[in-house]
Amino acid sequence: MDALLTLWQATGVANLGWQQALMVVIGCGLIYLAIAKRFEPLLLVPIGFGAVLSNIPVAGIGGPDGLFGMIYSVGVETGIFPLLIFMGVGALTDFGALIARPSTLLLGAAAQFGIFATLIGAVALNALPGFDFTLQDASAIAIIGGADGPTAIFLASHLAPDLLGAIAVAAYSYMALVPIIQPPIMRLFTTKKERAVVMEQPRPVSRLERIFFPFVVLILCGLLLPSAAPLIGMLMFGNLLRESGVVERLSRAAQNEIINIVTIMLGLAVGSRLSADKFLAIETLGILVLGALAFSIGTAAGLVMGKIMCWATGGKVNPLIGAAGVSAVPMAARVVNRVGLESNPHNFLLMHAMGPNVAGVLGSAVAAGVLLALTGD
């Protein structure tokens, strides 16, 4: 009888609480969104599955000595996984649209306003009962507005590791919801006439310009904001592999095998942080609300800057492309193109929107560097 009791107490059913059961359901929900709705499946499938496995009682797979716990310690706590993903993103990204029209950097910079506005909002939430965000916590939450998952994970792992699971899920969820969140904001801040503006074809970009671009960005970043150098440096290294034309094997590896393997490991590690004791808190709800606010403010700020550029150029810039400054490459650019086509069936904005879109990647990395420099230990 004692043996049977001991065996029963060792089962997951005997140790399963409602909190763990709820987190298993949430993990399955993330997998459903990835498979059925195609919401960021490359990340949400491993994150969801990691959450399910990590909330199985007694198994301990998400603990410090479990598989996911060790992966988290090696790749996320050290910041290695987000940096390797940035290398792959750089190898996948064509910065030609930004090089051809450098002024779109302003749109990418303006879209980061949501980050710093939400930083203030996160600190202000401490006035409500149940919230106790430090300045580091608020900084990590605010970066969700950059709509850049690896950057959010990189900053959260340094400033607020206890909030990493909620921040990662919020960041990738809002990235996946770009086609739903952004169009209403675009229509609210622009007129039909502005949305119908047809932009001139960008100039051709030479191979020499493409090769020099990573070095120029890296040197400027290293001189002005060294704390952002890890993210910017790996992004530019990956882009150099792509544009140099002499290391095709390395470029293909960065674009495929490396980024795919790291994405699996990162997703499972982040999923392991979705444990019931850390995720089921009122602070998590605050993070989700603040993340939506950050993303919306960033989109609106980019559109306002787009309107200013439209006025300054005499109507040569379509303000819609400012919405792509929140990063979320290339989904935000595709949404801009779709909304532009609604007002003018002959208005193709995809290549024009890619300029502020990739500028947003740089902008979110710089914003993370600024927050890390100001609030980090």
* Model pLDDT, residue 302: 93
pLDDT at 377: 65
Tell me the pLDDT tens digit for each residue of 81-121: 999 999 999 999 999 999 999 999 999 999 888 888 888 88
- Residues in the chain with pLDDT < 50? none
Q: How far is CA 177 from CA 107, 187, 292, 336, in A?
A: 21, 17, 10, 14
**Residue-wise DSSP of 16-52:** --HHHHHHHHHHHHHHHHHHHS-SSHHHHHHHHHHHH
The residue to which tokens 């919020």 are assigned: 170
Nearest-CA neighbor of 194 among 306, 43, 299, 76?
Answer: 306
3-state secondary structure 166-233: HHHHHHHHHHHCHHHHHHHHHHHHCCHHHHCCCCCCCCCCCHHHHHHHHHHHHHHHHHHCHHHHHHHH
In this prediction, residue 121 carries a pLDDT of 86
C-alpha to C-alpha distance for 228 and 212, rounded to whole angstroms: 19
Is pTM beyond 0.85? Reply is yes
pLDDT of residue 289: 86
